[in-house]
Amino acid sequence: MQDRIVITGMGTVNPLGLSVNETWHNLIAGVSGVGPITLFDSSLLQVHIAAEVKGFNPENFMDAKEARRRDRFEQFAIAAAKQALLQSGMEITEKNAGRIGVIISSAIGGLQSLQEAILTNFTEGPRRVSPFMIFMLMANGGAGMAAIEFGIKGPCFSVASACASGSDGIGMALMMLRTGMIDAALAGASEATIASTGVAAFDRVGAMSRRNDNYSMTPQPFDKNRDGLVMGEGAAILVLERESDARARGANILAELAGYGATADAFHVTAPHEHGAGGAAAMLMALSSAKGNVEDLGYINAHGTGTLLNDRAETRAMKAAFGAKAYKLPISSTKSMTGHMMGATGALEAIFCVQVIREGILPPTIHYETPDPECDLDYIPNQAREVKVSLAISNAFGFGGHNAVLALRKYS
């Protein structure tokens, strides 16, 4: 019988908190992480709101010199990874370092650093560009820096599949563990795209909410009056290992990473397939990978960005995948609180699924006021709900038609 792949550690920094416990407390309470942008002057933009990580001091996780040489997304990655490793109790030694993988994904990488380098190049000249810039902007920087930080010598890379990056990276780790390529992994994602270029670019494609004066009521996933996503930032990392190894060292097993599914819409560069065909296929693939069935499924953490097209297509995808059962499934979009953390979103929402399974509480979709006839499922509006769940899935769908779904199961 194939060894199960289990989760023994989790760490995060995100708009709701600087740890899993703080984040979970705020998530269940329905706290919004959205507020006015403080990371840069947004006065020239049409969007002035975002879900920023608050109170983060990188020097709590690394020395000041190293912090200055790392982009914000790399700082987030190290912070979340340190938390996850601490909880797991895993010791990295010369003996096991080559059997541990680091898959920390990012859709965009060091956007803030890249933007600053370009400005410096044109205003002060190329000789003023930092010699550390290349290491700050590359999308695999979080993975590379984590491997150096912890002395991990196994496979080390980043997956870039837009907003599916974090889920795809965790899925890659699952497959590598199942095939015996590695014995353990740090897997997740980090993103820090709240920079003027990033906000402007997403706004120009019509994806962003512009409720600058009413930010306490946006984003509104699945609501009839939704007007777009709110950009978020942060990191989420899991420690994954085989059940037999975790048990042998007496680790506290949090949940099983049971399945993974991935597809491509092959439809449009930004719009999802209008009938949700790719998303539906990925959900069913994840359940099959988990050796589960529709009747076992107890909760869906939806991609739920708050855009008109995404929420409608995802609703159709869930109906296509699960038929009449879709109307009985509790579903929530936690992006209503965290904002959309781009490539890191799927990794954080995998953590939320673990917490749902462990705690028996389903987070709400806040800001839900007006039902949309085209989005007519149970989105857990505004209030958390107590429900025992043994199997949950997390959806992550990205620009370019990327679909990635993780299945997580209660460990026993």
Closest CA to 24 of 36, 35, 12: 12
DSSP-derived secondary structure for 9-56: EEEEEBTTBSSHHHHHHHHHTT----EE--SS--TTSS--EEB---S-
Give the CA count within 13 Å in the CB-facing half-sphere of 299: 33
Residue 277 vs residues 110, 112, 265, 315: alpha-carbon distances, Å = 33, 35, 7, 11
In whole angstroms, give the CA distance from residue 53 to residue 271.
28
Q: Report the side by side order of strands in the sheet with 156-157.
A: 156-157, 100-105, 184-191, 234-242, 5-13, 255-264, 402-409, 391-398, 299-301, 331-332
- Residue 130 has a CB neighbour count (10 Å cut-off) of 14
Query: Any catalytic annotation for residue 25?
Result: no
Catalytic residue among 273, 303, 367, 402: 303
Query: Any catalytic annotation for residue 375?
Result: no
Q: Are 401 and 273 in contact (CB under 8 A)?
A: yes
In whole angstroms, give the CA distance from residue 87 to residue 352.
16
CA 38 to chain centre: 22
Q: What are phi and psi of 85, to 5 degrees?
A: -65, -40
Catalytic residue among 25, 48, 156, 163: 163
Q: Are 207 and 154 in contact (CB under 8 A)?
A: no
Q: What are phi and psi of 29, to 5 degrees?
A: -80, -5
Give the CA count within 13 Å in the CB-facing half-sphere of 297: 29
Dihedral sign for Cα atoms in the order 164, 167, 169, 175 = negative
Helix H or strand E segment including 407: strand 402-409
Catalytic residue among 340, 353, 367, 402: 340
DSSP-derived secondary structure for 189-208: EEE---SHHHHHHHHHTT-B
- Residue 284 has a CB neighbour count (10 Å cut-off) of 18
Query: Any catalytic annotation for residue 367?
Result: no
The residues annotated with a catalytic role in the active site are 163, 303, 340
